Amino acid sequence: MLDLKIFENRELAQKILQAIRREAERIEREVRLMHVCGTHEDTVTRSGIRSLLPENVKIVSGPGCPVCITPVEDIVRMQEIMRKAREKGDEIILTTFGDMYKIPTPRGSFSDLKGEGYDIRIVYSIYDTYKIARENPDRLVVHFSPGFETTTAPAAGMLETVAGEKLENFKIYSVHRLTPPAVEALVKQGTVFDGLITPGHVSTIIGVKGWEYITSEYGIPQVIAGFEPVDFLIGVLLLLRMIRDGEARIENEYTRAVRYEGNTKAQELIDRFFEVKDAKWRALGVIPASGLELRGEWKDLDIKNIYKVKVPKLPDLEKGCLCGAVLRGMALPTDCPLFGKECTPRHPVGPCMVSYEGTCSIFYKYGALF
Residues that bind other proteins (CB under 8 A): 8-10, 13-14, 17, 45-52, 229-230, 233, 345-346, 356, 364-370
Q: Which is nearer to other proteins, 90 or 345 (CB)?
A: 345
Q: In whole angstroms, how close is the CB of 42 to other proteins at the nearest point?
A: 10
Between CA 158 and CA 109 the distance in angstroms is 26
Q: In whole angstroms, how close is the CB of 43 to other proteins at the nearest point?
A: 10
Q: In whole angstroms, how close is the CB of 128 to other proteins at the nearest point?
A: 13
What SS3 state is found at 289? strand
Q: Which is nearer to other proteins, 14 or 305 (CB)?
A: 14
Residue 296: Cβ within 10 Å count: 9
Q: In whole angstroms, how close is the CB of 14 to other proteins at the nearest point?
A: 6
Q: Which is nearer to other proteins, 66 or 262 (CB)?
A: 66
Between CA 182 and CA 328 the distance in angstroms is 9
Give me the amino acid identity at 96.
T
Q: Which is nearer to other proteins, 206 or 362 (CB)?
A: 362
The answer to whether 95 touches 132, Cβ cutoff 8 Å, is yes
What SS3 state is found at 58? strand
Q: Which is nearer to other proteins, 71 or 358 (CB)?
A: 358
Q: In whole angstroms, how close is the CB of 9 to other proteins at the nearest point?
A: 8
H/E run at residue 164:
helix 149-165
Q: Which is nearer to other proteins, 96 or 222 (CB)?
A: 96
Q: In whole angstroms, how close is the CB of 10 to other proteins at the nearest point?
A: 5
Give residues with Cβ within 8 angstroms of 290, minimum separation 6: 177, 178, 181, 182, 185, 276, 278, 279, 281
Q: In whole angstroms, how close is the CB of 131 to other proteins at the nearest point?
A: 15
Residue 337: Cβ within 10 Å count: 11
What SS3 state is found at 223? strand
* Residue of 40, 96, 47, 31 whose CA lies nearest to 63: 40
Between CA 122 and CA 143 the distance in angstroms is 10
Between CA 28 and CA 93 the distance in angstroms is 57
Q: Which is nearer to other proteins, 9 or 169 (CB)?
A: 9
Give me the amino acid identity at 162.
V
